[in-house]
Structure 1
Amino acid sequence: MTSTTARSVFLLLALLWAAAAQADVYVKEDADGALVLTDAPGGEGFELLLRGERDTAAAPVAAAARAEHPSAQQHAPRIERAARVAGVDASLLHAVIRAESAYNPRAVSPKGAAGLMQLMPATARRYGVADRFDPDQNVLGGALYLRDLLARFDGQLELALAAYNAGEGAVQKYGGRIPPYAETQRYVPQVMHNYRSLQ
């Protein structure tokens, strides 16, 4: 994907994200020409893209997530927005984020995955994420990736989660089963447990 195409894709995703937003959404273009989208602007150069409204329907998920992890409430609004744009369950995003980064937007894995949803560089590029440490971009990219994995594996959540952890090719290599990797064998039940506890 060229940088122009990636930028266009991110702009489209940004507009979709903004349309689903319940908080004020700000945007600016950084020095590299990438769009930065946030509901908590810091520094100069941000412009109001959309004035949002409070969504009281998000309260149950936020309350449940808060019971599971003390930092969940801070990220609940952006998780709700990404869930609406991608068409996935916000509780599932919370479950993945808790397992992946424990809600730490600066987390980096030994393999180079980064941010709340631990996006690898190639996955970030695929979904137009210019800054993996930007929580809004990271969660939206991860949500879109999960959506595509669920579609690819016919809605089989455990296989989608296995692919999120080990890669799509690994699930296919083992005949559409959870790969026999120790990390993945731990990861899938952990996320499923997190998800059930939020439902």
Structure 2
Amino acid sequence: MTFGAGLSCVLAQAQIYTGAGDGGSVVLSNHSSGETPLLLIAAEAPPSPPLAPQPSAPSTPARTMPAARSTPPTLAPVIREAARRHDVSESLLTAVIAVESGFDPRAVSPKGARGLMQLMPDTARRFGVKDVFAVHDNLHGGAAYLRQLITLFENDLSLALAAYNAGEGAVMRAGRRIPAYPETREYVAKVLAHAARGASPGAANP
């Protein structure tokens, strides 16, 4: 099953594993195997209870997510290099950028997240990003953070993305599940959908 063809399963919260197939395609399966070793999204669990009191927004700014569009040609090689260096799927990294900033390197959120990958100041400092508006610096800082989250959550991309949006602490407090923030749940679905389109054979953006 290709990434794109299996998207409905992913968004339905099935237990989905992924891996690389022939010709660079992305393979989905409901079983872990040598071909599909990475957990893309965990099986549906009962919704996590709201935190008390439930914040009105996760730790990253509540905002209207920019409409995803095609990767600008000038950014494609930089994204590819950052994905390779930090061992992150290129289609996933591209999807995070598309949803976070709409590929705008000067994007600033109401709460101060900046640049292509919408890094908060503390996150930028944590990953040694000196110029948050510099494409190379922001991309590598964000990719390093995403890789750390993927490792922390044992290759469960849905939890890694939830943590990128709401913070690691929110995911941990929710019992290592996607927190009950509407924005975060929408964010995870949008990133996975964009990544699925990008990873489909023949897609314009890998």
- Indicate whether the TM-score tops 0.5: yes
Deviation at residue 182 of structure 1 after TM alignment: 1.5
Deviation at residue 115 of structure 1 after TM alignment: 0.2
Partner of 2:160: 160
Greater relative CO, 1 or 2 (CA 8 Å, sep 6+):
2
* Residues 71 and 94, structure 2, Cα contact 8 Å, conserved in 1: no
Partner of 2:147: 147
Partner of 2:175: 175
Partner of 1:196: 196
Higher helix share: 1
Partner of 1:128: 128
Secondary structure of 2:128's counterpart equals coil
Aligned-partner Cα distance in 2 for 1:70–1:195: 12
Partner of 1:91: 91
* Residues 162 and 184, structure 2, Cα contact 8 Å, conserved in 1: yes
Deviation at residue 92 of structure 1 after TM alignment: 0.8
Deviation at residue 111 of structure 1 after TM alignment: 1.6
Aligned-partner Cα distance in 1 for 2:112–2:189: 23
Aligned-partner Cα distance in 1 for 2:72–2:143: 16
Aligned-partner Cα distance in 1 for 2:193–2:169: 25
Aligned-partner Cα distance in 2 for 1:182–1:69: 23
Structure 1: give runs of 5+ residues left out of the alignment: 1-59, 61-67
Runs of 4+ in 1 over 6 A off after TM superposition: none
1:138 aligns with 2:138: yes
Structure 1 length normalisation: TM-score? 0.65
* Residues 163 and 170, structure 1, Cα contact 8 Å, conserved in 2: yes
Deviation at residue 161 of structure 1 after TM alignment: 0.1
Give the RMSD, CA atoms, in angstroms.
1.4
The one-letter amino acid of 1:123's match is T
Partner of 2:80: 80
Secondary structure of 1:195's counterpart equals helix
The one-letter amino acid of 1:172's match is M
Aligned-partner Cα distance in 1 for 2:92–2:172: 23
Secondary structure of 2:73's counterpart equals helix
Partner of 2:111: 111
The sequence identity of aligned pairs, in percent, is 54
Secondary structure of 2:107's counterpart equals coil
Deviation at residue 74 of structure 1 after TM alignment: 2.1
* Residues 72 and 94, structure 1, Cα contact 8 Å, conserved in 2: no
The one-letter amino acid of 2:170's match is A
Aligned-partner Cα distance in 2 for 1:111–1:124: 14
Deviation at residue 158 of structure 1 after TM alignment: 0.3
Partner of 1:11: none
Aligned-partner Cα distance in 2 for 1:70–1:171: 30
Deviation at residue 72 of structure 1 after TM alignment: 2.8
Structure 1 segment 3-22 matched on structure 2, within 5 A: none
Structure 1 segment 17-28 matched on structure 2, within 5 A: none
Aligned-partner Cα distance in 1 for 2:155–2:72: 26
Deviation at residue 81 of structure 1 after TM alignment: 0.9
Aligned-partner Cα distance in 1 for 2:71–2:158: 25
The one-letter amino acid of 2:104's match is N
